[in-house]
Structure 1
Amino acid sequence: MIDYTVIPVTQIKGVSALKQQELHAFGISTVADLLLYFPYRYDDFRVRQLSEVKDGDKITVEGRIVSEPVMQRFGKKSRLSCRVMIESWLVTATWFNRPYLREQLTQGRDIVLTGKWDQRRLQLTVATSEFPGQGTQRRDTFQPVYSVGGKITQTWMRKTMAQAFVQFGETIPEIMPASFMQRYKLMPRKQAIQAMHQPDNVEVGKQARRRMVYEELLLFQLKLHMFRAITRERADGVVHNASNATVREFVRSLPFELTEAQKKAVTDILSDMRSPLCMNRLLQGDVGSGKTVVAAVSLYAAVRSGYQGALMVPTEILAEQHMRSLTKLFEPHGIVVGLLTGSLTARKRRDVLSGLQMGMVHIVVGTHALIQDDVHFRNLGLVVTDEQHRFGVNQRSVLRHKGYNPDVLLMTATPIPRTLAITAFGDMDVSSIKERPAGRKPIKTYWVKHEMLDRVLGFIRREVTAGRQAYIITPLIEESDKLDVQNAIDVHVQMQQAFPDLKVGLLHGRMNAAEKDEAMKLFSANETHVLVSTTVIEVGVDVPNSTLMIVMDSERFGLSQLHQLRGRVGRGAHQSYCVLIADPKSEVGQERMRIMTETEDGFELSERDLELRGPGDFFGTKQSGMPDFKLADMASDFAVLEQARDDAAELIRSEDFWTSQDYQLLRDAVQQEQLFQGEQLD
């Protein structure tokens, strides 16, 4: 049989070399690429009864013209209208900028209209119209709508897709084994692909999508499980041999008791580190759940096993904070911690680099500066990346390659919904810390409208008078013409005027590293009472005396981001508060504010955020290596995803999958499938 995955798209009648170049922009090079380029929605041309439709609906109706058409001109633009009897309703049908239709709109003629329904005016603004018995009929069909651009139009795409099926439809192979087809009553692959482009009815369309979503998710999970099976066979990782007694001694020296969740995470990590297989573990924990201490125990075990450790973080402020806290923990044990950031003096940088190379610096904390070419370790055994989704896959990979297969621990304070953990991190083990350290008080969260700002300012005054400090977060740095939202520079001026007797600081991303550090140091030392900042403050900075987090225009932030911001307070002994100032117009914005006031559980919030925003926005960047599915949606197709994961695990364990001819096409499809944006499996 012809392999449609290698036939160039120019073999389809009507696809020229120029059109081939245009299609290439959509990732279409072969016949298979084209046939698997699915519509993102369908225009529904099923004729409906006016009594069934709502105001504002896009509808298709049929009726009879009962008046002469009336034409109005406005310069080069025109409006054409006539009365149409639809069932027992007399409706005004209006066309804009289509004067050529005037001659065809004759009284007594039947017509099929598609457009937007205005219930109050009994008016239909017509998008398309046709006369029964004339040419191609859209009536009672579903028309696919593709993501197109340039010189590729919807009409050309539909026509070319139909031609591709005529020429190459028979070459579409069935890759699913018969047992799976029967178990899940799946539509045959060729029929499903065709129905995705041209469904006969809603039910056929649903069955086609169900088949193709399952196939996509099964291939994805098989790829992850195959990768995992192969890497797990390679026992060439670092073996850390620090004894339990040695680790217990360090844990006992900590100034606090570990929670049960932290102890469980430490046990999982140490078990991985003692194995000859490379550790690849994600440690996720809510804001303030104590992930850094778990990382510290892991780094201690690495050093006591004769290796060096590296902790990479996204900002210099955070690097310095970790450096201070780790030095306090490790110094009594004779462990040297170094700092490597972009703003170090040349001399300090040279000292740290030579200390690393000679093994005199045991643990290094740093930013992107850690992955530069001149950074060499004597014996790197453990790499910890904090807020891992802030680094590109390549950056994490570079640090990993500075040792010989070191163990890797990724940490995130953005709890990953189970859905994403199964997909984006399906090749990893996941440890979760859901318990809060003892003594932490819940943060009281309030949602207020902008007109209550005076009361919020009074609240800030009361907290500062009591010796506390406040953050005020804004979405933008400077005023924007496009967005009517508060900005840091204006709000800073406003707060200086509101509190002339207080020190009001400013922090934003355009400041250089030294300016940011200075602003943060003044706030940490309680020399600044109120800090106006953009979300540069979001990650990990710890000021126990701050008890008030004000977020301006908070409808512009996602739930997970708001939760991260809220987590900057509540780190000391005093009661803390988060005030969200927002006037959300959308239902999603209102729902977001309501959820924030109802729960402090970051894991629950992350699930709700995924439902509200979708997976594409969850991490805010393609660099996170999220799979770019053609059809599957990780929130709504979660049940299918879990089933596909279980089925993939079962297949990988069975000998038949690797050897039987029945699975040959499925194995081939896994090899061909490009499932990742960038190189996810680093």
Structure 2
Amino acid sequence: MSTDLHALPVRSVSGVTPAKAKELEALGIDSVARLLEYYPFRYEDYRIRDLTGVKDGEKITIQGKIYSEPSVQMYGRTKSRMTCKVYADPLFISTVWFNRHFMKDKLKAGQEIVLTGKWDGRRLQLTVAESEFPGGSSSQSGTLQPVYSITGGITQKWMRKTVHQALTQFGALVAEAIPAEIADKYDFMARKQAVYRIHHPDDVEEGKKARRRLVYEELFFFQLKLQAFRAIQRKRADGVAHVFDNEDVRQFVRSLPFKLTDSQKKVIAEILHDLKEPYCMNRLLQGDVGAGKTVVAAAALFATVKAGCQGALMVPTEILAEQHKRSLERLFEPYGIQVGLLTGSLTDRQRRDTINSLHMGLIDVVVGTHALIQDDVLFRKLGLVVTDEQHRFGVNQRSVLRRKGMNPDVLTMTATPIPRTLAITAFGDLDVSTLRELPKGRKPIKTYSVEHDKLERVVGFIRREVASGRQAYVICPLIEESDKLDVQNAIDVHAQMSHAFPEFRVGLLHGRMHPQEKDEVMRAFKDNEVQVLVSTTVIEVGVDVPNATMMVIYDAVRFGLSQLHQLRGRVGRGEHQSYCILIADPKNETAKERLKVMTETNDGFEIARRDLELRGPGDFFGTKQSGLPEFKLADMMSDFEVMEMARDDTAELVAKPGFWTSAETLPLREFLHREQILDGEQLD
């Protein structure tokens, strides 16, 4: 779209008063361009049909002839029911208007009329929503009318009229946006035509064609930013080209107390290749719960240290930080690699010592929470940043840690498997590595869904497991009782479980506890001093207790599918058969479907796909900080193939030397300048 239309205020459209302009601004429409790009989300079908085959309750537009004078029944001063007979070939039907008695004098016998309303086939009756006489100046019969998302004092009728006026006044100024070779390749209609036809399609097929053209354009510009950024980063080659011997890494892998899966070997090879390149690695490592991402990160950190640099691993919780520190210490001890810990609960002296050691290079790898990004935390030579459960950190937090080195390599890990659809969309500037296999010997977790009235049987199941030496988690959505929500809370359930299991020790864990208290409870559970742990979702990520075989989740419908899968992943980490019990009384079909998905599959990628279908991409990550774009028309699920087309086209485009110099692509480069992609900043 030409910049002229973006510069023209929406008041430039005839009929838009200052008051209406304010109402449009509340919808994000402040210019003519934004008004033209305020696309309808569906159409009202006013095309005239006959009544053959119309279902009861269906909305329909018919044309007929008034057969009898209307009769009116009044109810009070303003409420009324007006009826008259209409001949709609081949039927005589009754037509009913509610509270439209003022129209009585306009309805004359023998007059042609167009009616839109709800059909009742049993009574041969049409309840009229809208009516008009053929040939009127504002006639909408025979058309598909756009339906817009509106609020306040703006009506559909006014919005339709105003958009039409904007198209009449300024439609000729709509400029082409994508290269001609791409428009020709897909036989797209011209942009000018597409913008007009998406608001005023002659038929459904034409509306689809216009939408297809504009969806592609939206995804084209989104992908252009990502692909241009990647190309610039690789061209600049100002990252750290790590120099290390692959044989050293192979020896480290051979020394591990377990065999790597083929997936892990493949991903480690991809990462080692990136580390040796002079450009910044920007890789997303995704894998199902328990797929062994930490070991892959350990191999990357090992190679980084062997190349003379330091590594940082940022995790969302202190429990997880301590767990990762212990794991890395065990793996790195034979090689003399020093692992440090930096969390909010360190004493002032411990923190000062750790920061000094980091600055002097005495610590090779530091594991920490957001405490890592404090201003006074400085590295001697930071070469690799690993963030675990990346969606838990805001964009700014990740950027601050990355800026503590000279363009360090970045490995982003998530145990929330992301469907390829979203990986390409949300993380299109990253290379994506995926761990699909689970370590050998893992038994699938058996999952059951039960209603609250079966709680006694669940308690009996827990007792049998714990009596045989195993341990159990019991998860609640709240810490304490709420007068607003009728759901279980951890404090009450802890009291109930303590009463039910006097012979066992029952622990309590929630987010309001002091970090040292939480660590003490988790240590006691890990050492089997606590047999039943009642908790909120603070244990969702990364906690590893192989002896725990029972996961009981109260009010399971209050959690998203991916979160339920994360919680379930806390069990099934040892040699014993594990179980997950979802306690819920589902009130609707979506809730039932989510529970059904959990009982049918343990595959996190399939669960993520279904979660995306059921909840939509906006809720998938649970935060606006995820970087998901908000498209006007495009939908990440249904338009995924178009997303892939746009990605491939833009990657090919920016790879051509002419893209960066030719006059033809100048508008695209200007777009990248406006979006600050050419400024060399990291893209989050």
Does structure 2 conserve the Cα–Cα contact (< 8 Å) formed by 1:302 and 1:382? yes
- 1:645 aligns with one of 644, 647, 662: 647
Once residues 478 and 101 of structure 1 are traced to their aligned partners in structure 2, the CA distance between those partners, rounded to angstroms, is 60
SS at match of 2:384: strand
Does structure 2 conserve the Cα–Cα contact (< 8 Å) formed by 1:84 and 1:93? no
User: CA shift at 1:106, angstroms?
Assistant: 7.5
Map Cα deviations across residues 41-84 of structure 1 (whole Å, 9 max, x no partner): 223333455554445544445565866232334xx984635366
SS at match of 1:405: coil
Q: Which residue of 2 aligns with 1:247?
A: 249
Q: Which residue of 1 aligns with 2:74?
A: 71
Residue type at the aligned position of 1:200: D
Residue type at the aligned position of 1:230: I
SS at match of 1:404: coil
SS at match of 1:408: strand
User: CA shift at 1:103, angstroms?
Assistant: 6.4
Once residues 57 and 345 of structure 2 are traced to their aligned partners in structure 1, the CA distance between those partners, rounded to angstroms, is 58
Q: Find out whether 1:44 has 2:45 as its counterpart.
A: yes
Does structure 1 conserve the Cα–Cα contact (< 8 Å) formed by 2:93 and 2:125? no
User: CA shift at 1:161, angstroms?
Assistant: 1.6
Once residues 485 and 105 of structure 1 are traced to their aligned partners in structure 2, the CA distance between those partners, rounded to angstroms, is 58
Does structure 1 conserve the Cα–Cα contact (< 8 Å) formed by 2:550 and 2:578? yes
Once residues 102 and 513 of structure 2 are traced to their aligned partners in structure 1, the CA distance between those partners, rounded to angstroms, is 60
Map Cα deviations across residues 211-254 of structure 1 (whole Å, 9 max, x no partner): 11111112222221111111101111112222122222322222
Map Cα deviations across residues 583-640 of structure 1 (whole Å, 9 max, x no partner): 4344333333333222222122222222232221211212011122111111111111
User: CA shift at 1:402, angstroms?
Assistant: 0.7
Does structure 2 conserve the Cα–Cα contact (< 8 Å) formed by 1:65 and 1:105? no
Q: Which residue of 1 aligns with 2:568?
A: 566
Once residues 486 and 80 of structure 2 are traced to their aligned partners in structure 1, the CA distance between those partners, rounded to angstroms, is 35
Residue type at the aligned position of 1:569: V
Q: Which residue of 2 aligns with 1:8?
A: 9
Does structure 1 conserve the Cα–Cα contact (< 8 Å) formed by 2:224 and 2:650? yes
Map Cα deviations across residues 629-669 of structure 1 (whole Å, 9 max, x no partner): 11111111111111222222222223444444444445445
1:460-609 equivalences in 2 (<5 Å): 460-479=462-481, 483-609=485-611
Instruction: Indicate the RMSD between aligned Cα atoms, in angstroms.
Output: 3.0
Once residues 103 and 502 of structure 1 are traced to their aligned partners in structure 2, the CA distance between those partners, rounded to angstroms, is 84
Residue type at the aligned position of 1:599: T
Q: Which residue of 1 aligns with 2:229?
A: 227
Residue type at the aligned position of 2:178: M
Once residues 535 and 116 of structure 1 are traced to their aligned partners in structure 2, the CA distance between those partners, rounded to angstroms, is 48
Gaps of 5+ in 1: none
User: CA shift at 1:158, angstroms?
Assistant: 2.5
User: CA shift at 1:319, angstroms?
Assistant: 1.2
1:173-572 equivalences in 2 (<5 Å): 173-479=175-481, 483-572=485-574
Q: CA 1:14–1:343 in 2, change beyond 3 Å: closer, same or farther?
A: farther
Among the aligned pairs, what percent are the same residue?
A: 64
Map Cα deviations across residues 468-505 of structure 1 (whole Å, 9 max, x no partner): 12222233444556654444444444434444544333
Q: Which residue of 1 aligns with 2:624?
A: 622
User: CA shift at 1:388, angstroms?
Assistant: 0.6
Once residues 491 and 65 of structure 1 are traced to their aligned partners in structure 2, the CA distance between those partners, rounded to angstroms, is 71
Of residues 81-90 and 230-239 in structure 1, the stretch that sits farther from structure 2 once superposed is: 81-90
Once residues 302 and 626 of structure 2 are traced to their aligned partners in structure 1, the CA distance between those partners, rounded to angstroms, is 29
Q: CA 1:48–1:371 in 2, change beyond 3 Å: closer, same or farther?
A: farther
User: CA shift at 1:288, angstroms?
Assistant: 0.2
Map Cα deviations across residues 298-322 of structure 1 (whole Å, 9 max, x no partner): 1112122221111111112211211
Count of residue correspondences: 676
Q: CA 1:90–1:279 in 2, change beyond 3 Å: closer, same or farther?
A: same
- The alignment's TM-score, normalised by the length of structure 2, stands at 0.90
User: CA shift at 1:384, angstroms?
Assistant: 0.3
User: CA shift at 1:275, angstroms?
Assistant: 1.5
Does structure 2 conserve the Cα–Cα contact (< 8 Å) formed by 1:625 and 1:680? no
Q: CA 1:390–1:116 in 2, change beyond 3 Å: closer, same or farther?
A: farther
Residue type at the aligned position of 2:72: P
Residue type at the aligned position of 2:140: R
SS at match of 1:5: helix
Does structure 2 conserve the Cα–Cα contact (< 8 Å) formed by 1:282 and 1:429? yes
Q: CA 1:579–1:21 in 2, change beyond 3 Å: closer, same or farther?
A: same
Once residues 341 and 131 of structure 2 are traced to their aligned partners in structure 1, the CA distance between those partners, rounded to angstroms, is 70
Q: CA 1:470–1:228 in 2, change beyond 3 Å: closer, same or farther?
A: same
SS at match of 1:29: coil
Once residues 347 and 82 of structure 2 are traced to their aligned partners in structure 1, the CA distance between those partners, rounded to angstroms, is 75
Does structure 2 conserve the Cα–Cα contact (< 8 Å) formed by 1:173 and 1:189? yes
Gaps of 5+ in 2: none
Does structure 2 conserve the Cα–Cα contact (< 8 Å) formed by 1:172 and 1:190? yes
Q: CA 1:277–1:612 in 2, change beyond 3 Å: closer, same or farther?
A: same
Once residues 56 and 483 of structure 1 are traced to their aligned partners in structure 2, the CA distance between those partners, rounded to angstroms, is 37
Residue type at the aligned position of 1:327: E
Once residues 378 and 513 of structure 1 are traced to their aligned partners in structure 2, the CA distance between those partners, rounded to angstroms, is 29
Residue type at the aligned position of 1:10: R
Once residues 122 and 243 of structure 2 are traced to their aligned partners in structure 1, the CA distance between those partners, rounded to angstroms, is 77
Q: CA 1:494–1:93 in 2, change beyond 3 Å: closer, same or farther?
A: farther
Once residues 673 and 373 of structure 1 are traced to their aligned partners in structure 2, the CA distance between those partners, rounded to angstroms, is 28
Q: CA 1:132–1:500 in 2, change beyond 3 Å: closer, same or farther?
A: farther
Once residues 249 and 68 of structure 1 are traced to their aligned partners in structure 2, the CA distance between those partners, rounded to angstroms, is 94
Residue type at the aligned position of 1:68: S
Of residues 114-123 and 137-146 in structure 1, the stretch that sits farther from structure 2 once superposed is: 114-123
Once residues 2 and 540 of structure 1 are traced to their aligned partners in structure 2, the CA distance between those partners, rounded to angstroms, is 49
Does structure 2 conserve the Cα–Cα contact (< 8 Å) formed by 1:393 and 1:680? no
SS at match of 2:432: strand
- The alignment's TM-score, normalised by the length of structure 1, stands at 0.91
SS at match of 1:4: helix
SS at match of 2:263: helix
Once residues 361 and 123 of structure 1 are traced to their aligned partners in structure 2, the CA distance between those partners, rounded to angstroms, is 82
Of residues 249-258 and 653-662 in structure 1, the stretch that sits farther from structure 2 once superposed is: 653-662
Residue type at the aligned position of 2:161: K
